[in-house]
Amino acid sequence: MNKYTVTGAAGFIASVVSTKLLESGHEVVGIDNLNDAYDITIKNWRLEKLQDYANFSFIENDISTSSRSWTDSFKNADSILHLAGRAGVRQSVETPHVYIESNVLGTLNVLEAVKDHNIQNIVIASTSSVYGSSLIQPYDEDSESSKVLSPYAASKKSAETLAHAYHHLYGINTQILRFFTVYGPAGRPDMSIFRFIKGISDGSEILLYGDGGERDFTYVDDIAEGVCKAGDLEGYNIINLGGDNPVRIKKIIELIEKYTSKSASIKVVGRDPADVPSTWANINTAKDILSWEPNVSIEVGISRTVDWYKDNYDWAKKIDIY
C-alpha cells in the first residue's frame, strides 16, 4: 500500500483519481479548499463519496495560502498528485489574479513542501490550452506552448516552468500531464458537456460559440488511469493525455439529444477570443512511457455522463451553471 497526497481532492479529476487509488487499497490524503469557482454542491457530493473509504482522510485548506499549514500531509507520502487549481478559459479573463494565485503560487507552495519533506515524486496537472492556437496538429509535447491565449493557460505554463526548476535543483521526479478536454459523470458544471446535458434535459436554451469548433475530448476514467500510472515515473516528463480523436461540438450536442431523447434549443453567439478553435493530442509519448491510451469512446462516454445526470437528477438539476 502506498500513500498519496492529492490536492484538489473534491475536484472533478482528482476525485476520480482518488477513488481509483482507494479502491486499489492505497492510502489517500485529500486537500481541498472547497471554493466557489463553481457550484459547491457537486464538490460536496464527490467528497462524500470519498469519505466512505476508511483509507481516505481530508484536509480542508488552501494550498495558495502562505501559512502552508497543510504541508504535514506530505510526510511519508510516496507521491504527490497535484491536481488542484483554477480551471476555465473564459473565467480567467475576468479574474486573472485568482488564477495566478491558485495555479502559480499554489504550485510553488506545493513544490516547496515536496522539497522540504524530501518527496521523490510529483505529478502535476496541466492543460492542452498551453498550445494556444497553433495550427500544426496533432500537438506533441514539443509543439509551441509559449503563445498562450488566456490567463488560465499562462498560469498553467508558469506552473510547468516552476516544476522544471525544482526538478533541476532538487532532483524531484516530475511528471507534467497536459489534459485534453476532460468530461464524464459529476463533471464540472461550468464546462460545455454539463451545460448541454442540463440545458437539453431541462428544455432550456444552450449557447454555442460560433460553430463550436472541435475538441479532443477525454473521458475522466481514462485520464485517472494515466495520472495513477505517472506517479511511478522517473525524471522530468511532459505527457499529453488526450482522446486522439477530435470531435465537433455540434456532434456532442447531437449525441446528447440522442441519449436524452430531447431536442436542443441553441443560441449561437460569437466565438470568444480566449478560446482555441480546435485541439488534438499526439499521445505517442503516453503510449511509450506510460503504456497508456484512451479506452472509452465519445459515444460511450457521453452515454454514461447522461445516465449519471438522469440518476442524480433530483439534486443535479438545481446546480447553478454560472
Long-range contacts of 267-273 (CB under 8 A, 24+ apart): 267/205, 267/206, 267/207, 267/208, 268/207, 268/208, 268/209, 268/210, 269/207, 269/208, 269/209, 269/210, 270/209, 270/210, 271/209, 271/210, 271/213, 272/89, 272/90, 272/209, 273/149
- Quick one: residue 171, left, alpha or beta (phi over 0 = left, psi -120 to 50 = alpha)? left
Dist. CA 241–CA 13, nearest whole Å:
13
Neighbours of 78 (CB within 10 A): 16
How many CA atoms are closer than 13 Å to the CA of 220, on its beta-carbon side?
20
Catalytic-role residue among 152, 166, 183, 259: 152
CA angle 128, 93, 160 (to 5 degrees): 40
Positive/negative CA dihedral, 134, 192, 159, 100: positive
152 is catalytic: yes
Residue 56 C-alpha cell reads as 481516505
CA atoms of 51 and 55, how far apart (whole Å): 9
Cα separation, 175 vs 163, whole angstroms: 9
CA 293/CA 290 separation, integer angstroms: 9
Catalytic residues: 152
